[in-house]
Amino acid sequence: MKSEILATTFLGLAVRSIISLYSYSGYDSPPLHGDYEAQRHWQEVTVNLDVGEWYTNSSNNDLLYWGLDYPPLTAYHSYLVGLIGKSLDSRFVELHESRGFQSKEHKRFMRATVVTADVLIYLPAILYLVYCIDKTFQGDDKLFLFTIIATYPGQILIDNGHFQYNNISLGFAAVAIGAILGRRFYLASFFFTLALNYKQMELYHSLPFFVFLFGECVGQKSFSSFVTQISRIASVVLSTFAILWLPWLGSLQASLQVLHRLFPVARGVFEDKVANVWCAVNVVWKLKKHLLNEQMALVCIGCTLVAALPTNILLFRRRTNVGFLLALFNTALAFFLFSFQVHEKTILLVALPSFFLLKWWPNEMIIFLEVSVFSMLPLLIRDELLVPALVSTFVFHVIFKCFSSNSKQSNEYPLKYLASISNILMIIIVVASLTIPAPSRFPDLWPLVVSVISCGHFLLFFLWGNFQHFTCKIS
C-alpha cells in the first residue's frame, strides 16, 4: 500500500511539473500582467518594506498595482519566498525596478515554490484526511481517493498553471477537516484558523466548522464542561489570530486597513464571467444599473445565509462525519453561487469536500469535479492552458473509470443521465468555442455560455447536496 501511495504522489507531481512548463496568468501582458506578477510583487513589497507598510498605500507601495489583499499568513509566506528569491537573484524582488520581471530562471523558481507547497503541505494534508475519513475505508478505497485528489486537474491547473498557492490554504483546511472527523477539535481549530488567515475565501467553510464545534460544546454533559471546552477552542483561535495579526493590533486604523484590503466592496459583485447566480442573472437584468455595490453586498450576504442555513442547522442537530462533509459541500456551494466577489478559482473550495464524498457518491462527485474544471475554461483559455486542461481532464476521467470499473455503483446511480448529457454538452461547447467565432456584438458569448451552463449544474448539485444531507442515514 505504501508503495502505491508513493507512486501516486510521484504521478501527481509529474502532472504538476508538466503543466508548470506551460504559460501562466499575465505572461507578456503589460501593464498589470496577471496573478503571477501579483504573487511576485507581494514578495517585492514584503521583502523591501516594513511589515506595517505592507497593506498601506504609499510611494513605495501602490495599492492600485496588485496591492496585497490576502490575510497576514499569505504576506508572511510572500516574505519567506521573497527572501529565498532575493538570495538567488536580487532582480526578482528589486523595489520598483522588478515590476513585470520575466525570465526563465524566475519562472523555474516560482514554479518550484508551488510544487514545494504541494510536497510539504497539500499532498500530505490530503493523505492525512484520506486516512481519517472512515475507519471502514479499505486500502483500495484509500488509494482510489488519494489518486483522484492528487490528479484533480482543477487545483493543478490553477496553482501550477495559472499560478496561485491555493494548495496551502486547502491543505490547512484538509488537516482541519481530518481533525474534526477524528474528534481532535483543538487541532481542527488551529489549522482552520491558519487556512482562514492564508485566504479569506476559507469563509466558505467557516459555518460548518463553527456549527460543529459549537454543537460539540453545547452537547457537553455539564455547564462546566461546556465552559471548559468552548474556552479552550476560543483560546486556540484567538491566540493564533493574535500572533498572526500582531504587527497591526497596536493600531485600530492599521487593523481596519488590513480588513479593508481583504474585503474590497468597491470592486463589484463579480469581475470576470463566473459560474454563479449573479453572473447568470446579469445576462437579463444588469445588476450595476439597478443596485449600488453596498446594496448588492447586502443582497449577497442575505441570499448566501438563507441558502447555507438549512444544512448547518441540520448539522448542529445531527453531527455526523458524513453530515459534516455534506454541510461543507453545501455551504461552500451556497457561497460560490450567491456571495459577493466570487472568482472562478473559488470553486476549488467546493471541490475540497467533494473529494471526500467520493466514497459514498463516486459517480455524482466525479461529474461535479469535471464540471468544476469546465467552469474555469474561459480563464484557462486566456492563460493559454487549454491543451493541458483538456488532456489532464481526459486522463482524470480515465483514472476514475479504471478505479470504478469493478464498482457495483458504477453503472446505476441517480445522476447517470445527467452525466451523459453533461459530458456531451461540455464537449459540444468546447468544440464550438474553438471553431465558431463569437459575433462582434457579443464578444463574450462563449465565456458566458460556459458560465451559465456551469451555474445550472452547480444549482442542481446544491439541491442534490441538501437533499442528501436531509435524507442521508450514513453516520
> Is position 93 within any domain?
no
8 Å CB contact between 161 and 340: no
State the pLDDT at residue 410.
Answer: 47
| Residues 55-70 pLDDT 10s | 999 999 999 999 999 9
Rounded to 10 deg, the angle between the 348-356 and 139-150 helix axes is 170
pLDDT tens digits for range 270-295: 777 899 998 999 888 888 788 888 88
* Cα dihedral 186/188/189/190 (nearest 10): 90
pLDDT band at 348 (very low <50, low <70, confident <90, very high): very high
Task: Dump pLDDT digits (tens) for 122-165.
Answer: 999 999 999 888 665 666 788 889 999 999 999 999 999 999 99
Higher pLDDT, 435 or 409: 435
**Tally of domains in the chain:** 1
In this predicted structure, what is the pLDDT of residue 154? 96
- Reported for 100-108, long-range contacts at CB under 8 A and 24+ positions apart, including other chains, are 100/30, 100/31, 100/33, 100/37, 101/40, 102/27, 102/28, 106/40, 107/24
More confident residue, 141 or 389: 389
* pLDDT at residue number 81: 98
Domain, as residue range, for 440: 2-27+102-219+264-471
Cell match 521573497: residue?
Answer: 82
Average pLDDT for the chain: 92
Q: How many Cβ atoms from other residues are within 10 Å of residue 223's Cβ?
A: 8
Q: Is the pLDDT confidence value at 11 over 90?
A: yes
Residue 134 placed within a domain: yes
Does residue 247 fall inside a structural domain?
A: no
What was the pLDDT predicted at 403? 80
Q: What is the pLDDT of residues 420-437, one digit of tens each?
A: 888 899 999 999 999 999
